[in-house]
Amino acid sequence: MTESADRDELARFGYQPSFERRTSKFASFAVAFAFVSIATGIFTTYGSVLNSSGPIGIWTWPIAVVGQLAVAFVIGSLASRIPVTGYAYQWTSRLANPVLGWIIGWISFMFLAVVVVAVDYTVASTVLPVLLSYEATSGITWAITAVILLAQGLLIAGSTRWTEKVNNAAVSAELVGMVLLTLLLLIVAAVRSQMDFGNLFSKGAVPAEGYWSFGDWTTAGPWMLGFLLGAFTIVGFESAANLAEETNDPERVVPRAMWQAVLASGVLGFLFLVAVTLAAGDPIALAESGTPIADVIERTLGSVVSTLLLVLVVLAIFACGLVIMLTGTRLTWAMSRDKRFPGWSQLNQVSPRFRTPLKATVMYVVLAEVILGVFTAFSEDALFTLFGAATLLPAVIYAATIALYLAKRKSLPANGKFDLGRWEKPVLAVAVVWLVFELALFRDTSFRDAWLYVLVLLVIGGVYLGALLVTRGRQALDMPDMHSIDHELDQARS
């Protein structure tokens, strides 16, 4: 896109270019894939699924992939029509109203702030202790997580180009590594006669009675809890949209990056899950391990390959956290650009030296460190609480976005670059059914702290929103040069 075309494109939404368009097709895909990060999600949650649902719980994965793929297609349609930084915040503000847009933007911001801590905490609490053979005390875990967050922040603040290079390299390594690990597991386990096909349909130590129950008002059935494996892992693909103003041809590239990342993650992730489960040995004994994936790899492929797996997981988790933080800083900057984020006059600046939202990045790192300290100090099960909130919040964001698309889809103009066409209705039906089912999972009492976190977020955000409306009036939330999407639609039709 030429500088003139870039300026004209953003002018339609009331903005001037602030970043250079350097993000390529692969870099956009890599951002979406790194956020999903199957190595991170599977390594982190496979043990929980063994305990809650047994090995047979992995069969929930394909269903979650189909559901999230439908969501990705719908969100891609919005990203193609409104290709500006701020993703869900921008879409909701322009399609519904600025108040709802601000609320969704605030929830998205806090989701990104908590999930980056959850992801980086995984490295310090479960991966590095095994890799480096040390005891993961709460103090050591806190210190290592804090250092990782700082390192990611320094990289993002210093250079978007180098941030993408590091992420591209990590994603390439994850793709190649996961393919090789899957093939090696299947081949070696078959040669050594270590495959147990019964594991694919085993409930492990989970009682058979009531297994297929939906549960009650406060408890989800064992098989339903298995969906948390996919629900936690296959999220964040929309992060590619938050670099729209830095991506070449974002109307075409960003939506494709989303669905391609979900599909690649879904297929590769399921093949890896099947391979690990076949080679799992005794699933009941494996469920007691804190690192079941690493245990299966070591038993089947040896300690050297197991160590390489842990190194791969460290790289994948670092890249995942890096992309989450990158997405969070861009959202902070986007909301500050519209003068509706605390400290916006400082956070809307782009560093002339680094060409990055430097101050927004610093604020984001500080907030992440505070969240880390609070959860570490006051939660006996900090990791699960963080994961619970990190799984619940995107489901809420996706549901709000899909509902908005349903309400406005007939008035949205086709842009010729990414449209669902005749597949729109069936794709929407799948997305709605999946999200309703997914949200039903969170009635389980184990997510009490996650709901409490969401409530606290809404209260804090509500206080600021109320102060904003009182001090600056309703017009403080109007979008630049566009009070609603109707103006944009009129322009598109003329």
User: What are φ and ψ of residue 351, in 5° steps?
Assistant: -60, 125
For CA atoms 165, 319, 246, 329, the dihedral sign is: negative
pLDDT band at 379 (very low <50, low <70, confident <90, very high): low
Mean pLDDT of 99-128: 88
pLDDT of residue 65 exceeding 70: yes
Contacts of 44 (CB under 8 A, 6+ apart): 122, 126, 232, 387
- Tokens representing 82 are 């409104």
8 A C-beta contact, residue 408 and residue 101: no
Q: Which of 61-75, 306-320, 387-401 has the highest mean pLDDT?
A: 61-75
- Tokens representing 62 are 């394909």
Ordered alpha helix ranges (H), 199-249: 222-225, 228-233
- pLDDT of amino acid 1: 57
Annotate 316-348 with b (16+ C-beta within 10 A) or e (fewer).
Answer: bbbbbbbbbbbbbbbbbbbbbbbebbeebeebb
Q: Which of 463, 450, 379 is nearest to 111 (CA)?
A: 450
Q: Which of 105-109, 269-273, 405-409, 464-468 has the highest mean pLDDT?
A: 269-273
Q: How many CB atoms lie within 10 A of CB 52?
A: 23
Ordered alpha helix ranges (H), 221-342: 222-225, 228-233, 250-278, 283-286, 292-301, 303-337
The more confidently predicted of residues 180 and 11 is 180
Q: Which of 331, 235, 260 is nearest to 29 (CA)?
A: 260
Per the DSSP assignment, residues forming a β-bridge with 247 are 23
CA-CA distance, 379 to 114, in Å (whole number)? 14
Mean pLDDT of 345-361: 94
pLDDT of residue 412 exceeding 70: yes
- pLDDT of amino acid 331: 96
- pLDDT of amino acid 361: 97
Minimum mean pLDDT among 19-23, 105-109, 423-427, 485-489: which range?
Answer: 485-489
- Tokens representing 49 are 């699924």
Give the helix/strand (H/E) hosting 94. Answer: helix 87-95
CA-CA distance, 126 to 140, in Å (whole number)? 12
CA-CA distance, 244 to 79, in Å (whole number)? 8
CA-CA distance, 86 to 242, in Å (whole number)? 5
Per the DSSP assignment, residues forming a β-bridge with 99 are none
- pLDDT of amino acid 145: 94
Question: pLDDT tens digits, residue range 149-207?
Answer: 999 999 999 999 999 999 999 999 999 999 999 999 999 999 999 999 999 999 999 99
Minimum mean pLDDT among 56-65, 214-223, 466-475: which range?
Answer: 466-475
- pLDDT of amino acid 488: 45
pLDDT of residue 74 exceeding 80: yes
8 A C-beta contact, residue 236 and residue 147: no
Q: What is the mean pLDDT of the chain?
A: 89
Q: How many CB atoms lie within 10 A of CB 310?
A: 23
- pLDDT of amino acid 450: 81
Domains of the chain: 27-493 (1.20.1740.10)
Ordered alpha helix ranges (H), 137-214: 138-158, 160-191
pLDDT band at 384 (very low <50, low <70, confident <90, very high): low
CA-CA distance, 67 to 44, in Å (whole number)? 21
Question: From its phi and psi, is residue 133 left (phi > 0), alpha (psi between -120 and 50) or beta?
Answer: left
User: What are φ and ψ of residue 23, in 5° steps?
Assistant: -70, 120
- pLDDT of amino acid 290: 84
Mean pLDDT of 60-88: 94
Question: pLDDT tens digits, residue range 425-450?
Answer: 999 999 999 999 999 999 988 888 88
pLDDT of residue 67 exceeding 70: yes
- pLDDT of amino acid 492: 47
CA-CA distance, 59 to 492, in Å (whole number)? 44
pLDDT of residue 69 exceeding 50: yes
Tally of helices (H runs) and strands (E runs) in the chain: 21, 2
